[in-house]
Structure 1
């Protein structure tokens, strides 16, 4: 099932453009031009994301945002024709996740929508992981050191050892194996790995993860072609089995 997006915009031309372009991307789009109706639709339709105009009849976008934020955790992208910084601050203080000032390009809006939905997906994945390890599993086996058979990951020295011999790793390779090891036995998506190891400011794609996993396998696996420590989970990403 695709994501459902609620578009709240009283400019009919812009509303139609948003509906058309979002639908072309495969989203299920619901529209309204009224603040009170927006609140009702958000409650009844459970959208994945809300595009919310500030200037609305009935109640304005700020008030809609304030009401919904008390009840729902749905991400809200506010659309405003006002460029003043105070309006942006008010929107964020009311609980909006992001804002976009009119006029904006449809490409920019679609990119924001995609990024916000991706972030929601990753947050849910992280919460699921936290729940899995809520019982305290996978703590360091000795202070600051993770041990998996003959493999040791020393967080203080930022060093990986096999049979007590240090393995030369690049900084990101160490960050990657540490993140995987801290979630031993969990299938982690490429997007989550990219976000947690490289960060949101990294302008790259998930294939970066594949390249670094290949380099890691060449250094820590007895047979990189038949990996036993870092396993590929088809359609998802990778799992560290130690």
Structure 2
């Protein structure tokens, strides 16, 4: 698997490149987003490590730009693990975090997981939902980052594919009380979700509305 590391701290970048190269990976050490953009013109990595605190374009901004790249997993490198940074990174499309100084044992585990997911995605031509990561993967390999609401709605649909999920069950999945919840908000959320899926994946969203009842997932799927 091709790995790119965007880290402005030269010593850490060289250390990671050296370690991963010795373990059989094809690794590119980069210091900023411009170097990454230049690399991706010819070589698209399968795994991207990004330092959050980069000068110029931040790691979070880079993750946001690359989060829909087919087959790409994003790992943030950070010296501070405050909740706000983690939330913003996940919303931008990051799959996970590694804290500095980087543990090589943890690094190996992250790479192993990325390779497993990459193999699973490339060999299965159906919709895949990763609810913990709030990530939807299309049959053609595009990654779609979901909000918490979208992830909960999709998890309810994925849990009963090709069966109707009632409005009540969807409201309950959001942790709300159906008796006081305006279920028209479900329609708005589903409409926005469909549009997001179709724009990013280029495919028709697999969510079909059933008039006055609810929604159904009308395509093959896997809940991870």
How high is the TM-score relative to the length of structure 1? Answer: 0.50
SS of 2:55's equivalent in the other structure is coil
For residue 93 of structure 1, the aligned residue among 91, 94, 97 is 91
Q: 1:88 to 1:24 in 2, by over 3 A?
A: same
Aligned to 1:77: 75
**Aligned residues between the structures:** 132
Q: Is the 8 A contact 2:50 2:76 kept in 1?
A: yes
Aligned to 1:46: 44
Aligned to 1:161: none
Aligned to 1:7: 5
Is the counterpart of residue 35 in structure 1 residue 33 in structure 2? yes
Structure 2 unmatched runs, 5+: 129-138, 140-221
Q: What's the offset of the Cα at 1:128?
A: 7.6
The one of the two structures with greater contact order (alpha-carbon pairs below 8 A, sep at least 6) is: 2
Q: What's the offset of the Cα at 1:44?
A: 2.7
Q: Using the alignment, how far apart are the partners of 2:63 and 2:22 within structure 1?
A: 27
Aligned to 2:18: 20
SS of 1:78's equivalent in the other structure is strand
Q: Is the 8 A contact 2:49 2:75 kept in 1?
A: yes
Q: Using the alignment, how far apart are the partners of 1:51 and 1:69 within structure 2?
A: 12
Deviations 1:81-120 (A, max 9, x none): 1110111111010011111122231111121112112111
Q: What's the offset of the Cα at 1:60?
A: 0.9
Q: 1:82 to 1:42 in 2, by over 3 A?
A: farther
SS of 2:27's equivalent in the other structure is strand
Q: 1:97 to 1:43 in 2, by over 3 A?
A: farther
1:119-138 matches, within 5 Å, as 119-127=117-125
Q: Is the 8 A contact 1:39 1:68 kept in 2?
A: no
Larger Rg belongs to = 1
Q: Is the 8 A contact 1:39 1:64 kept in 2?
A: no
Aligned to 1:66: 64
Deviations 1:156-179 (A, max 9, x none): xxxxxxxxxxxxxxxxxxxxxxxx
Deviations 1:119-176 (A, max 9, x none): 1111111228998xxxxxxxxxxxxxxxxxxxxxxxxxxxxxxxxxxxxxxxxxxxxx
Q: Using the alignment, how far apart are the partners of 1:86 and 1:43 within structure 2?
A: 32
1:191-206 matches, within 5 Å, as none
In the TM superposition, structure 1's runs of 4+ consecutive aligned residues that sit over 3 Å from their partners are 70-73, 128-131
How high is the TM-score relative to the length of structure 2? Answer: 0.53
Q: Is the 8 A contact 1:9 1:53 kept in 2?
A: yes
Q: Using the alignment, how far apart are the partners of 1:96 and 1:122 within structure 2?
A: 19
Q: CA RMSD in A?
A: 2.5
